[in-house]
Amino acid sequence: MTRIEWQWRERGSGGAPYRQRVSVSEAPPPNTEFLTLIEHELNCTACNLRTDGAFCPRAAELVREERESRR
């Protein structure tokens, strides 16, 4: 079964990571940090106003935490 979800991508040359919609056939179960991040995305005005895939400082922090949690 294929579904659409957001994934975080690294930008080259030290740029901020950005989100991208991708279709996945089998995704690992989302962890708490990832769900926190998604919840922030849904509720954050600053993030929702942005259309370039960037996000607010709080979201950047959540992305970092989410990445750490997967190590």
CB 22 to Zn ion: min, Å:
21
CB 56 to Zn ion: min, Å:
3
- The answer to the question of residue 56 lying near Zn ion (CB under 5 A) is yes
CB 69 to Zn ion: min, Å:
19
Residue closer to Zn ion, measured from CB, 59 or 63: 59
Segment 35-54, which members bind Zn ion (CB under 5 A)?
44, 46-47
Round to whole Å and give the CA distance between 55 and 25: 27
Round to whole Å and give the CA distance between 32 and 68: 12
The distance between the two most distant Cα atoms of the chain, rounded to a whole number of Å, is 35
Angle in degrees, CA 61, 68, 23, rounded to 5? 85
Residues that bind Zn ion in the complex, under the rule CB under 5 A? 44, 46-47, 56, 59
